[in-house]
Chains A and B, each alone.
Chain A
Amino acid sequence: MRIAGENIGVRGLTLLAVAGAAGIVLGIHGWSLHHQGVPSGFGRPQVAPSTSAPAPTSSAAAPPAPGPKLSSQAYASYAFRVWPGPVSQAASAAATGLVIKVRRHGSGIMVAASVAGHPPAAPRFYSTGASVYVIEATLGDDSGNTDFDLGDDGLVVTDTQGRIVQ
């Protein structure tokens, strides 16, 4: 068989067909999982990290009930701690394109996170021992101070036991 002046034999066509079929299978797998991913994304509407963790309604409200442990989540390997320090080089890279402000406040910390260049979000209070993580699934989409795909970024705050509170 000739395609654009190049010959492809039966073996070649079979191989391409197998590759195409494998691609379809992988695509179906990817489609079935596409609703799962990183939590609290900056590039998409905010979602609660777990169905067991109710979405807070205001920054003045009491901290939400803790959800599952961060370490038990599929995206745990993409989590980079930014509080408390020291902040690793990878965490700094993961936070590219984001503005995350954490400061001590009474018996806990105040956390404000937003996309660089956008209006800052209202700070939220978390009790002592909380840790703040940036979720960045693909560090390769960061360049300089620009993150080309904020769709895979998120922010997670955990309590002293490592359970997700946001």
Chain B
Amino acid sequence: MTSKATAGRSDLAGPAYRFAAEWAPTAARMLLGLVLAWFGYHELVAPRLWTGYVPGAGASSQVAVVMVLVHGWVLLVLAVAIVTGLALRLAAAVAALLVLQIVITLMVTGGLTDLTLRDAGVLGLALCLTGSSRQRAVLTG
């Protein structure tokens, strides 16, 4: 009876594990791309709301606005690359570097806060994708 129940659970778990192994990296890719696209879009259309995060530049300076616009543009292009799976590991590595810079800046300016830890989670997601070799729903050609 016990062995039958265990076998039943294995029968159920097998397809679930296979499904997760098949699609979880794709879900991670899509969600990281969504995060990058959201921030990239908002940095591009309303750069002044983000200038306070630019290290070493005054929040009201034009240099800070330009830096936010460049950052937003890079995020948007990375988002498209990651969502479509184009040069995924390279795009994820660049995204990881960008998020790492954000995490470090937040830690230096505000310490260990919920914002910092949230971005640390996003950093982990990006790092995972730098080693991803199995992806579904990828643009080819």
Contacts and interface: CB of A to CB of B under 8 A. Distances in A.
A15 B45 contact: no
Contact of A23 (B47, B72, B86): B72
Contacts of A119: none
Contacts of B59: 43-44, 149-151
Contacts of B23: none
B101 interface: no
A148 B46 contact: no
A41 to B, nearest CB: 8
Interface string A21-36: 0111011011101110
A27 B69 contact: yes
Contacts of A33: 45-46
A93 B65 CA distance: 26
A44 B114 CA distance: 26
B132 to A, nearest CB: 12
Interface residues of B, number: 40
A143 B43 CA distance: 20
A4 interface: yes
Interface string A122-152: 0000000000000001101101101011111
A146 B51 contact: no
B76 A19 contact: yes
B128 interface: no
Chain B, interface SS category? helix
A9 interface: yes
Contacts of B114: 143-144
Nearest to B41: A26
A58 B46 CA distance: 32
A55 to B, nearest CB: 17
A130 B30 CA distance: 48
A118 interface: no
Nearest to B44: A26
Interface of B: 40-41, 43-53, 59-60, 65, 69, 72-73, 76-77, 79-81, 84, 86-90, 106, 109-110, 113-116, 139-141
29 contacts: A4-B89, A6-B87, A6-B90, A9-B141, A15-B139, A19-B81, A23-B77, A24-B73, A26-B41, A26-B76, A30-B43, A30-B46, A31-B69, A35-B48, A37-B49, A45-B60, A137-B46, A137-B49, A141-B115, A143-B113, A143-B115, A146-B113, A148-B106, A148-B109, A149-B59, A150-B52, A151-B49, A151-B51, A151-B52
Interface of A: 3-4, 6, 8-12, 15-16, 19-20, 22-24, 26-27, 29-31, 33-35, 37, 41, 43-45, 137-138, 140-141, 143-144, 146, 148-152
Given A20-B73, A43-B60, A45-B60, 14 more contacts: A4-B87, A6-B86, A10-B141, A11-B139, A15-B139, A30-B47, A37-B48, A43-B52, A44-B60, A137-B46, A148-B115, A149-B49, A149-B53, A150-B52
